[in-house]
Amino acid sequence: MRTIPWRYLPAVACLCPIGAACADADLPVVVVTATRIGTPAFEIPASVDTVSIDEVQDVLGVNPSDYLAGIPGLLARDRQNYAQDEQISIRGFGARATFGVRGVRLYTDGIPATMPDGQGQVSHFSLDSAARIEVLRGPFSALYGNSSGGVIQLFGADGSVPPEISLDLVGGSWGSARASANARGVAGDIDYNLDLTHFQTDGWRDHSAAKRESGNAKLGWKIGEGGKLTLLVNTLALPGADDPLGLTHAQFDTDPRSVASVATQFDTRKSVHQNQGGAILEQELGDGHALRVLGYYGRRGVEQYLAIPASVQANPKHSGGVVDLDSGYGGADARWIWRGELAGRAFEIAAGLSWDRQQQHRRGYENFVGDLLGVRGTLRRDEDDTVRDFDEYAQATWRIAERWSVTAGLRHSAVAFKAVDHYIHAGNPDDSGGVDYAATTPVAGLLWRAAPGVNAYASYGRGFETPTFNELGYRADGAAGLAFNLDPARSRNAEVGVKLRPDPRIEATFALFRADTRNELAVATSSGGRTTYQNIGKARRDGAEAALAWRIADDWKLQFAWTWLDARFRSAFLTCAGTPCTTPDTPVAAGARIPGIPRTDVHAGLRLGGERGWHAGASGDYVSAVVVNDRGSDAAPAYFLAAADVGYAFELDAGRFDAFARIDNAFDRRYAGSVIVNDANGRYFEPAAGRAFMVGAKWMWGR
C-alpha cells in the first residue's frame, strides 16, 4: 500500500485547507440529502458532510473544488479548462469522465444538474448565492437513481434579516477575475436572494481563456399556515471558452503551459448558454404530514469545435468535428413526508415519484471549409435524442430502541433512450433506435449509539449506472446505429463506520467501504475521433476514509481529511493500445488498477480568525500517483501542494469590509491537476497552474 511520503507528514499534520468548512461543532449539522427529511448528520448511518459557503473564505469562489477540499472520499479537480467543466469523482465513481461529470448525481436546490442519462455539469452552480453544499457517499446514494455513485447538492441561501447587499471582487494571476453582486432580504411574506456574477481568465496554459456570466434568483413566499412557494431562476453564458486539450507525458515534462498543435489549428473551443427555472411548493398538512412538489424546465445550447483531422471525416459514417446540441429538459418530483411514532418509537418516512426528460437535437458538422480549419462546414449528423426516467422511491427511519435506529429505502428506476436519425445518405444508414433500462435499488442501514458522543453504523445497498448518450453514440463493432447493446453497470455497496463527538468542539468520522460492480463501463476502441465503450465483467473499489474537525479555540480551527482507495478491475479484458484502433487487441489482466483514481489523497490545515479582525490560514494537499489508462502504461505523478492566505475584516458604518491576499501552489510544483482517462492520442495530462497569487475584497451593507 502506497501512502503519503514521510517527509510531508509534519507539514500535513499542522495544516488545513484554506477556507475549509470546519463545521461549527457547537451546533448539530442537519442535512436533507441523505434522508430527504432533514436529520442531524451525526444520526445518519451514512457518510454525509456539509460545507457552509460562508465558512469558506479567501478563495476565487468559481469552482466547487474551491469548497470541497475537506471532504474525504471526494476528489474535485480543476482542469484549468473551462470548456470541459470540473472533474469530480466520489469513491472512484465518475473518474472515467473526460468532460462534465458522470457517475455522480448533482442537484441545485433539488433541481437535477445531472440529466436522466447520467451526464451532469457544475458550470451553472451559483456559489455566490449558496448557503451550503451537501455531499453523500456510499450505499444511500443509490436512492437518487441512475448514476448515483455519490450525490452533491447545492442549496441556495434564503433571504436574510436584516437585508444585506454585498459586492465581491477577486483578482489574481493570469488575468483571473471574479466580480459578483448579491442582494438578500425579507419583505413581509417574501424573501429573496438575487445574484449576478462575472468571471474571466486568460488561462494559465496557452489557448485556455474563458469568460462566464451567470445569474441566479431565489424567491420565497409564505402561503397560509405552514406553506411556502419557492421560485428558482438560473442563467449561464459561457461564450467561446478555449479548449487547450491534454498533453502527452513528454509534452507535460517539456512545457506544461503548452498545447497540442491541433488545438490551435482547429481553434478548439466550446460555447454554452443555459436558462432554467423551477418552483418548489412545501406544505404542512397537520398531524406530522407534509407535502413537497418540485417542477423545473430549462434549455441548454452547446457548440463545440473538436480537433478531428479533415481526412478522418471522409468516412461517410463520420459525424464531423463540430458538435451542435440544443437541449430542452424538465421534470417533476412529488414527495410525501410523515413524522410520528410507530409502536411507540420515533418514525419518519418519505415517499415520492420522480420524472425527468431531456430532448436533444444533435447535429454534427465538418470543422473545415476547404483549407480553412476551425469553422463550421457541411452537415454530417442530424438526430433527435430523447432520454427520460420515471422513478418511485420510499425511505424511512425508525428508532427501534433507545440506542438503535434503522434506516431503509427502496427506489425503482426506469430509464428510456430513443434516437431518431434524420441524416440518412449513401454509406450512412438509418441509426434510429432505442433501449430501456430498469433497476430496483434497495438500501438499509443500522445506527448504534454506543456511548454519548459515539455512534457506530453499517449500511448496504445496490446501485446502477446506465451509459450516457455520448457513450451510446457509436457501436464498438463499427456497425450502424447507437450502442444499445451496452448494459448498465450494477453495483453492491457496503460500508461500516463510526462517528465521534467527544466534545462539542470536536467531531471525527471513520469509514470502511467496498463497492463491487459488474458490467463496469470502459473504453473499447478509439478511431477517427470516435470512442466506443464496452462492459467489463467485474470491478471492485475498496477504501477507507477519515476526517477530523476540531475547534481548538474560539478562533482556531483544525481540519483533516484522508482517503485511501484501491480500485481494480477483477475481470480480464481486451482494450486498445493505440490509435487508430478498431478492434480491442491488448490484454488487461484481472487486478489492474482502474484509471483516474489516486490511492491516497490527504487534505489538512489550520485556520485562525473570526468575522472581524485578522484571519489567516494555511493548507497542505497530497494526491498520490494516478494511472491514466486501462493498461496502466502511464501515470500522473504524485504531488504535494501548499497554500496560505491572510486577511483583515473591519466594520463600516452600514456593514463590513473584508480584504485578503492568497498564494496557491506556494512551492511552484509541476503537477497534473486532472487526467483525461484513456485519451486516444495519449494526451492524458491536464497540467495545473504554477505558483499563483490572488487578492480580493468584499463589501457588505446591512449586517
Q: Which domains does the chain have, with CATH numbers?
A: 13-701 (2.40.170.20)
pLDDT for the residue numbered 134: 96
Q: What is the mean pLDDT of residues 423-445?
A: 92
Q: What is the CA radius of gyration of the chain?
A: 25
Residue 277 reports pLDDT greater than 70: yes
d(CA 530, CA 582): 10
Give the three cell numbers for residue 298: 430549462
Distance in angstroms (rounded) separating the CA atoms of residues 84 and 77: 12
pLDDT of res. 22: 39
Helix %, strand %, coil % of the chain (to 5): 5, 60, 35
Distance CA 594, CA 598 (A): 9
- The helix/strand/coil state of 177 is strand
What nine digits make up the cell of 604? 489538512
Taking 50 as the threshold, does the pLDDT of residue 251 lie above it? yes
CB 347, CB 341: distance < 8 Å: yes
| pLDDT value of position 180 | 97
The mean predicted confidence, pLDDT, of the chain is 91
Q: Give the model's pLDDT for residue 11.
A: 36
Q: How far apart are CA 515 and CA 494, in angstroms?
A: 6
Answer whether 508's CB lies under 8 Å from 56's CB. Answer: no
Nearest to 90 by CA among 77, 108, 107: 77
Beta bridge partners of 613: 649
pLDDT 10s digits, 588-610: 999 999 999 999 999 999 999 87
Q: What pLDDT was estimated at residue 18? A: 33
**Residue found under cell 470491478:** 539
Beta bridge partners of 525: 532
Q: Calculate the alpha carbon distances from 3 to 93, 600, 639 in Å.
A: 21, 6, 12
HSE-CB for 482 with a 13 A CA cutoff: 23
Residue 25 confidence (pLDDT) above 50: no
What CA–CA distances, in Å, run from 349 to 36, 41, 67, 343, 372? 9, 17, 31, 14, 62
- pLDDT value of residue 703: 58
- Residue 244: asked if its preceding bond is cis (omega within 30°), the reply is no
Give Cα separations from 677 to 371, 621, 626 (angstroms): 32, 22, 10
d(CA 154, CA 651): 30
pLDDT over threshold 80, residue 526: no
Alpha helices in 236-322 (DSSP H): 249-254, 261-265
Taking the C-alpha atoms of residue 340 and residue 594, their distance in angstroms, rounded to an integer, is 45
CA distance 111 to 356: 10
Check residue 560 and give its pLDDT.
Answer: 96
Closest CA to 411 of 41, 110, 148: 148
Q: Check residue 9 and give its pLDDT.
A: 35
Give the position of cell 424511512: 396
Q: Is 187 exposed, middle or buried (0-12, 13-18, 19+ CB in 10 A)?
A: exposed
Q: Is 310 helix (H, G, I), strand (E, B) or coil?
A: helix
Pairing of strands 150-156, 105-108: parallel
Q: Give the burial string for 678-692 (b: 16+ CB within 10 Å, else e).
A: bbbbbbbbbbbbbeb
pLDDT at 580 over 80: no
Question: What pTM does this model have?
Answer: 0.93
Average pLDDT over residues 543-550: 96
What are φ and ψ of residue 702, in 5° steps?
A: 105, -5
In this prediction, residue 14 has a pLDDT band, given cuts at 50, 70 and 90, of very low
| Closest alpha carbon to 689 in 328, 325, 390, 244 | 244
Write phi, then psi, for 526 (nearest 5 degrees): -140, 120
- When pLDDT is cut at 50, 70 and 90, the band that residue 500 belongs to is very high
For residue 428, the model assigns a pLDDT of 86
Q: How confident is the model at residue 17, as a pLDDT? A: 35
Residues 6+ apart with CB under 8 A from 459: 45, 46, 138, 139, 140, 407, 443, 444, 445, 446, 494, 495, 496
Condensed to tens digits (0 to 9), the pLDDT of residues 133-187 reads 999 999 999 999 998 889 999 999 999 998 999 999 999 999 999 999 999 999 9
CA-to-CA distance for 29 and 133, rounded, in angstroms? 12
User: What is the average pLDDT across 48-53?
Assistant: 93
- Of 88-102, 104-118, 322-336, 439-453, which gets the smallest average pLDDT? 88-102
User: Average of pLDDT values for 683-698?
Assistant: 95
**Residue environment code for 362-382, b if the CB has 16+ CB neighbours within 10 A, otherwise e:** bbbbbbbeeeebbebbebbbb
Mean pLDDT of 546-560: 93
Percent residues over pLDDT 70 in the chain: 95
The amino acid sitting at 544 is A
Res 685 pLDDT > 90: yes
Q: Over range 350-371, report the average pLDDT.
A: 96
Predicted pLDDT at 633: 93
Nearest to 509 by CA among 27, 13, 43: 43
| CA distances (Å), origin 223, targets 294, 303, 335 | 16, 42, 18
Q: Residue 653 — very low, low, confident or very high, per pLDDT cuts 50/70/90?
A: confident
Nearest to 659 by CA among 700, 618, 689: 700
Q: Which amino acid is at 197?
A: T
Count other Cβ atoms within 10 Å, centred on residue 287.
8
Rounded Cα–Cα distance for residues 77 and 88 (Å): 6
Nearest to 55 by CA among 85, 88, 29, 77: 29
| C-alpha–C-alpha distance, residues 73 and 46, integer Å | 13
DSSP reduced 3-state for 262: helix
Q: State the cell numbers at 11.
A: 507539514
Look up cell 462546414; give the residue.
377
User: 460545507: which residue's cell?
Assistant: 51
pLDDT of 583: 83
**Cα-to-chain-centroid distance, residue 296:** 20
- For residue 302, give the 3-state DSSP assignment: strand
pLDDT confidence tier of residue 28, bands split at 50, 70 and 90: low
Query: For residue 24, what pLDDT is reported?
Result: 43
Mean pLDDT in residue range 231-254: 96
